Amino acid sequence: MKRDFLTILDLTHKECDQILNRAIDIKGSINNATTPLRGKTIGLLFEKSSTRTRVSFEAGVYQLGGLPIYLNPSDTQLGRGETIADTARVLSRYLNGIVIRTYEHARLTEFTDNAAIPVINGLTNSHHPCQVLADLMTIKEKKGTLNGIKLTYVGDSNNVANSIIEAAWLMDISLTIACPIGFEPDTGILERAKGADISITDSPEDAVSGTDVIYTDVWVSMGDKMDAAEKKERFRRFQVNDKLLSFAKPDAIILHCLPAHRGEEITSSVLDGPNSVVFDQAENRLHTQKAILELLI
């Protein structure tokens, strides 16, 4: 029976922990010669532009012995009106698995419902689970554990925030979200994480007080329909800067899924400062995605 990875909640607590531990092992292997994807082909169907997701998956598939095939919808029959369902059925005859990066989450689920191969969510407007696995790995790598960690997310309640909320529920992490009034997380996401230690505030200073991890993301995401200038003005008070960092623990780490808009959601002094681990975090996309591929394909 095929396994898909569309949201963090497609994993059990045990499976998530296994992926994180395996990713750490992969990263620590000097001569990692395992090639479980030898003779297998993985499609990368990307409707949104990408740097880290595309390159890390292409490199990861190759390093595991497989062949990655990048599929731009404008170069396929999807760009000429072929249905998602028909595309899924056809690609299932050629590929052993597929990573999809698209806009509406419903497009991903429609493809998954019609595919006979494992489907991995490379990003939708609603979820970014591969990113958040790398985030969890980075926290575990830097702090030694996820147990007892206080995580603070400062910024827009976007797809990354949604997946962090699900991860907090799954892995028993204490999560505080700081955002302007009116930009709180979707109630459906919060309902799915009911029972988790999650709090929401419009005070970024209170949110980061005594925290172990500060995480932020761009204020205006790809496909965001709100006026960019208006939204930036609403979020100006939520910039992660040296002053805000001073409220956190001295050894708090800074996460950002990148790309960063320096001088907007985060200052260069923090992004490039001693507390920042964002480039380790970016590297860890490769290792967690290799662990995901090993589990699913």
Pairing of strands 119-123, 97-101: parallel
Question: What pLDDT, in 10s, does the model give residues 110-134?
Answer: 999 999 999 999 999 999 999 999 9
Question: What pLDDT, in 10s, does the model give residues 166-178?
Answer: 999 999 999 999 9
Question: What pLDDT, in 10s, does the model give residues 136-164?
Answer: 999 999 999 999 999 999 999 999 999 99
Q: Which of 105, 217, 239, 289 is catalytic?
A: 217
Angle at 275 between CA 137 and CA 9, to 5 degrees: 25
What is the rounded distance in angstroms from the CA atom of residue 205 to the CA atom of residue 54? 35
Is 52 annotated in the active site?
no
Is 217 annotated in the active site?
yes
Instruction: Provide the pLDDT for residue 29.
Output: 86
Q: Which of 22, 101, 256, 287 is catalytic?
A: 101
Q: Which of 16, 179, 257, 287 is catalytic?
A: 257
Is 197 annotated in the active site?
no
Instruction: Provide the pLDDT for residue 75.
Output: 86
Instruction: Provide the pLDDT for residue 223.
Output: 67
What is the rounded distance in angstroms from the CA atom of residue 289 to the CA atom of residue 120? 10
Q: Which of 127, 285, 287, 289 is catalytic?
A: 285
Q: Which of 131, 239, 281, 289 is catalytic?
A: 131
> For the sheet containing 41-46, what is the strand order?
67-71, 41-46, 97-101, 119-123
Q: Which of 54, 105, 127, 128 is catalytic?
A: 128
8-128+284-296 and 132-282: same fold? yes
Is 285 annotated in the active site?
yes
Give 132-282's CATH code, choosing from 3.40.50.1370, 3.40.50.720, 3.50.40.10, 3.40.50.20: 3.40.50.1370
Q: Which CATH architecture has domain 8-128+284-296?
A: 3-Layer(aba) Sandwich (3.40)
**Using an 8 Å Cβ cutoff, are 248 and 225 in contact?**
no
| DSSP-derived 3-state class of residue 260 | coil
Q: In the block, which residue shows the tokens 């394909």?
A: 297
DSSP assignment, residue 82?
Answer: -
**CA nearest neighbour of 261 among 214, 227, 203, 216:** 216
pLDDT block averages, 10 residues each, the chain of length 297 = 96 98 91 85 96 98 97 88 96 98 97 98 98 98 98 97 98 98 96 96 98 97 78 97 98 98 98 98 98 97
**Using an 8 Å Cβ cutoff, are 4 and 119 in contact?**
yes
| All structural domains of the chain with their residue ranges | 8-128+284-296, 132-282
